[in-house]
Each structure stands twice: as C-alpha cells, then as structure tokens.
Amino acid sequence: MKQILLNENGKKVILLGNEAIVRGALESGVGFSSTYPGTPASEIGDTFADIAKEAGLYFEYSTNEKVALEAAAGAALSGVRSMVSFKQYGLNVSSDSFFPLAYVGVRAGMVIVVADDPNCWSSAQSEQDSRYYARLAHMPMLEPADSQECKDFTKIAFDLSEKFDIPILLRTTTRVNHGRGVVTLGRIVEGRKRGEFKKDSIKFRNFPPYIMGTHEELHKKLDEIRKISEEIHINFSLNEDSRSDLGIVTSGVAFNYVIDALQDLKLDLSVLKLGLTYPAPEDKIRSFIGNLESVLVVEEIEPILEESMSALAKDVNPELRLYGKKNGHLPRSGELKEWHALLAISKITGIKSQYNPIAQKEEYKKLNIARRLPLMCPGCPHRASFFATKSVVGDDAVFGGDIGCYILGMYPPFETQDFVFSMGASQGLIHGIKKVSDQKAIAFIGDSTFFHAGIPGLINIVYNRSNPLIIVLDNRATAMTGHQPHPGVGITGMGKKSKVINIEDVVRACGVENVMVVDPFNIKEMEEAVRESLQKEEVSVIVAKRECQLIAIRRKKREGAIMPNFGIDQSKCDGCGICLYQFGCPAIFMENDKFFIDRDLCTGCAVCVRICPKRAIRAVR
C-alpha cells in the first residue's frame, strides 16, 4: 500500500490493477472519490480509504452506487476532479443519474470506473458487459489491459473528461482489477480540493427544452473525441507489414491472450489493439481491415466490437470474413482464456499448436476431486440465524435471498436462499410472492444491503400491505467485500466518527410495528422471535444483531482476551450429528464416526453448546 503514495517519478513498483487506478487518480490531482463496495472493484475504495487522509483528499463509502455517482458528480460540477468506482451492477444502480450526467457534462474531470466480472469469480448476478452503457449513454470509454494501463488510462480519462466537459468510463474486468503488474510511477499532482458550484440555467437542468440542446451538444463532443480516438497512441496496431490475410482486433485483457497465442503459434499476424473503445476509431479500423481477407475479434464477454466491425466492413471490404463469438470461434459465456484465442487462430489459419487443451482436460476429468464449497466462517452469526429459522419452519417457507455473505446460505445444510437477484431484491420479490400465495415467506437481507436498497422495498411492503417476515442480518459491517463501514456502524470512509443510524429505528419509522432486536447467538430467543413473527397479520422485522465474528476475534485478540476452547465429551455424545449436519460449523469434523472440534478453527461462539441436545459440548482448558 505504501507504494501508492511514493512520489518517486520513474520508479517501478508492483501494483494491483485497482491500486494502479487509484495511483492514476493521484497523478491526475483527484480531490474527491466515492464508492459503494463491490468486488472486483472493492480495492479501489479501500485503497482510497487507506490514503485519503495522508493524500489530503476526500473519500466516502456512500450508501449505494447511485448516491456515490451523484456525490462524485456534485464535486465535479463544483470544479473538483472526482472518481466513482463500482462493480458492474453498481452501474445499473447508478444508471438513473448516469444517463443525464452525460448530457450535463462536468466542470472538472470525472472518471467512472466500472468493473465487469466474466465468469462471476467474485460476484453473483450476471456476466454483464458494461461496454453497452457507453453506447447507451454516449459516454466515452477506455479499457485498460493491465496495471500499467490502469494507471495511464486513468490519467488520459481525467484529461479527456476535463477537456471535453464529459464524464469518462473506465471499464475493467476481473483479471485487470485483480491482476498485479509492474507500474512505472509518475508525479503525484496536487489538485483542487475545494470548489464552487456556479449556476448555469441551461447546462445543469435536465429539462425540456434544454435537453434537446445538450443532447445535440453531446453528439458534437463525441464527434470531437472520435477524432482523438483516431490519433491517440492507445489505439495502435502491431505487425502492420504482416503478409497474412488474417488480422486480429482486440481490447482489454484479451489483447494479452492474443499476443501470447501468436507467440505460441509463431505467427506474426497484424493486431489492432483498442484502448479508447468508444467512440471507436472508425477510420483506423476501416484502414486496418481494408486489405484483409478475414478478421478475428477477441474481446471479453459480448461481441460488441465484432458487431461494429461488420458494419464498418460494409463500406470498405464487404467480402471480409469475420470470426469471433457469433460464429462459435470464441465462447459466448464465461471468461475468455488464452487457449480460446489460441484454438481460434489455429482453426482459422490451419496452423497446428503443440498444445492440446482438450486432451489435457480429458485426463483431468477422470480425477475424483472433492469440492471445497465456500462456507460461512466458524462463529458466523448468520449461521445461527439460519439454524434458528430453519428449526422453526424447516423447509416449509419461501426464503428470499439477497447480496452479502449470507448468500452462502444457499448451500446445504441451510438452503435459505431460494432466489438471488440484486441488492434489496429479497423484499421486493417476497412481497409479490406473499401477495399471490399463502406460503410462509421470509426475506433475509444484510445490514449494508438494507441501507443500500432495502428501505423502499420495506416501505412498499407496509404501504401495500403484505405480511412476510423480514430478517435483517445485522453483522455491523459490509462483510463480504472486506468489512467496509456503513451508516449503521457510525464510522466514515475517512475513518471519522459519525452518527450511528440504527436499523430498528429506520424499520419503525417505515411503519413496521412488529420489530424485534435479537442476538442470534441466543438460539432460543431467535427461534421464539421467528415463531411469534410468523403468526402476525402484518409484516414483522427481526434485526438479528451480532458483530461479524472475524471483526470480533480481531478486536478480542488486540485486547489480549483469552479465547475459550470447546470440546466434545465423547461419553455424552450420541452421534446425532446436529452440530455438523444441521449447523454445519467448519470447526466441527468427524473421524472414525466420532465428532470433534478443531481448536485452530473454533472461534468460541459457543452456539454449538446451546444446540447440542445431549449437552455434550463444553468449554475445555
């Protein structure tokens, strides 16, 4: 982390893609940054949180991505350079303000970082390709391929943004965000930290008739940036004098796969690598494809360049054969890998590779490899909440799922996430289900998720009168993405104390009358709360409040507290297996038909002590 603030021009350091983006912002004089945590973008915000004070800039974890985008826009409209970052779904959340922002423009440079996650390595939901947003909103987009480009492209984005009075999208994918690489540092620039909002009776008011004017203006800006796109060094071609009649067009991390595949095949095909992908350099593409017989387009997720290519080919080379995702040379789902590019080039050129991934995989498929499912940690309060809920209702209820650590409740033994859509969707869907069915319905939603998108859904339930049970799993942090604080915790992104907003107070203010706050480690009380709530005529909310065990353990260790150890008394244990098969604690294991507790893994939550029917689990020295 210390490398981020190093002011040594020309020094080479190793940075994560996400860290390199922050470094690029610092070299651009950024004064304001906001985010809502979401992997694979999370480390951008966390890096800002680490350095904001020392770097003298402002950073915040906003309540959701729409608010984050609006806040960053407010700063930029007031003349302070700003960056907002989020994962692909964050751009969806922010989109209501994102579209008008393109019309309005910015006074100071503003960069919007959106991280796509092909293969859904680190996020749920969908393999969304956010490049469509650039075209939809008419907002220019850059696509870095590695850490060095993350830093360099961020600087280019800030300059373009300010020069053309338009926000710029920086689109990354997981392998760029979570890739490490060598970065040559530039100078950190001291930018404006304070600004002033100067009124403009036309520009900032997204209201007819001004909109038609700003829309026209936006297209003029894009025309200008398209000229830049033709000239800019980040749109370049390699092996221009190649005698092959096949060429490759690529962007983002896929460029690296292409270069390696060509080296493996000992080919020197011409390659057009696009860094500023929207607006695309149409003339450059036309001249690249003009004399080729065929083009392979290698890009991550959807065939966007590929489709624009076929339109451009009509003008200059109607006979051009296009290869890519549309005719099955490259996959339409999942993450792109080097071997995809290798096989596609091999197939088109007829040049055989020594490498045979199919045979490699065949041998692998024969192996018997036990899965290692991701689990809730030992001592996780969500496990206690799920256990208590299921001990009351069994499988006789619809369980609404949401986005957070508790998504892991979808696996056995709980299976308490019957559907997962998006932030806050547990409540929206459960309301609809409850309106048309007589099933018991329980929505699980996390604390940070509740602040993010849970409140409108809850008010809708009260207003439109349905009676599900909502269980807010309040573990006092945005845990899944790295324990970022939220409004319920009372600490800001700058590390300052703030007002603590209690979820139960918000719930009552939304008009809910049946509200209980329960410590889920107290299984009996939690079960009682669930039982009682399910009998109510109106909606009930249980706030299951218990700090994430990882935070609790860290604090206790710091305070020097002695952690209790637990063991199973084999003379009392009758082997019922509730602790392992129904509670599913990773610290409990079975060997030779006997149950044991792994002391290295046990965090001393003692919930197993409470659920053991034989009282066989107790504290040991």
Partner 1 sequence: MKEFNIIITGVGGQGVLTLTNVITWSALKEGLDVKASELHGLAQRSGAIACHVRFGNRIYSPLVLEGKADLIFGLEPLEALRSCYFGSRNRTIFLVNTHRVIPSSIFITKEEYPSLSYIVKALRPFSDKVITLDASEVAKNGTGDVVMANMYMLGYACAKNLIQLKKESILDGMKEVIPERHIKSNIRILNLGFKAK
Site residues for partner 1 per CB under 8 A: 3, 12-14, 16, 39-40, 42-43, 121-123, 146, 174-175, 178-182, 253, 255-257, 259-260, 264, 337-339, 342, 355, 357, 360-361, 363-364, 367-377, 405, 408, 411-413, 480-481, 580-581, 584-590
Q: How many CB atoms lie within 10 A of CB 433?
A: 18
The rounded distance, in Å, linking the Cα atoms of 488 and 473 is 12
**Closest to partner 1 by CB, 400 or 404:** 404
Contact 156, 234 (CB under 8 A): yes
* Assigned token pair, 195: 């600004």
**Closest to partner 1 by CB, 286 or 337:** 337
**Closest to partner 1 by CB, 40 or 454:** 40
Cis preceding-peptide flag for 357 (omega within 30 of 0): no
Amino acid at position 608, single letter: C
| Cβ-based neighbours of 609, under 8 Å, separated by 6 or more | 566, 615, 617, 618, 619
Instruction: Compute the least distance from the CB of residue 366 to partner 1, in Å.
Output: 9
**Closest to partner 1 by CB, 276 or 377:** 377
**Closest to partner 1 by CB, 13 or 228:** 13
Instruction: Compute the least distance from the CB of residue 411 to partner 1, in Å.
Output: 7
Encode burial over 444-468: b for 16+ CB neighbours within 10 A, e otherwise.
bbbbbbbbbbbbebbebbbeeebbb
Instruction: Compute the least distance from the CB of residue 356 to partner 1, in Å.
Output: 8
Instruction: Compute the least distance from the CB of residue 378 to partner 1, in Å.
Output: 9
* Assigned token pair, 520: 């889920």
**Closest to partner 1 by CB, 236 or 589:** 589
Instruction: Compute the least distance from the CB of residue 601 to partner 1, in Å.
Output: 8
The rounded distance, in Å, linking the Cα atoms of 49 and 46 is 5
**Closest to partner 1 by CB, 86 or 255:** 255
Contact 514, 533 (CB under 8 A): yes
Instruction: Compute the least distance from the CB of residue 357 to partner 1, in Å.
Output: 6
Contact 459, 433 (CB under 8 A): no
**Closest to partner 1 by CB, 54 or 196:** 54
* Assigned token pair, 311: 């339109």
| Cβ-based neighbours of 244, under 8 Å, separated by 6 or more | 267, 268, 269, 270, 349
Instruction: Compute the least distance from the CB of residue 355 to partner 1, in Å.
Output: 6
Instruction: Compute the least distance from the CB of residue 373 to partner 1, in Å.
Output: 4
Q: Judging by beta carbons within 10 Å of its beta carbon (0-12, 13-18, 19+), is residue 267 exposed, middle or buried?
A: middle
The rounded distance, in Å, linking the Cα atoms of 126 and 96 is 20
**Closest to partner 1 by CB, 356 or 498:** 356
Instruction: Compute the least distance from the CB of residue 469 to partner 1, in Å.
Output: 26
Contact 125, 422 (CB under 8 A): yes
Number of residues that make up the chain: 621
CA angle 303, 309, 313 (to 5 degrees): 150
Element at 141 (helix H, strand E): strand 141-142
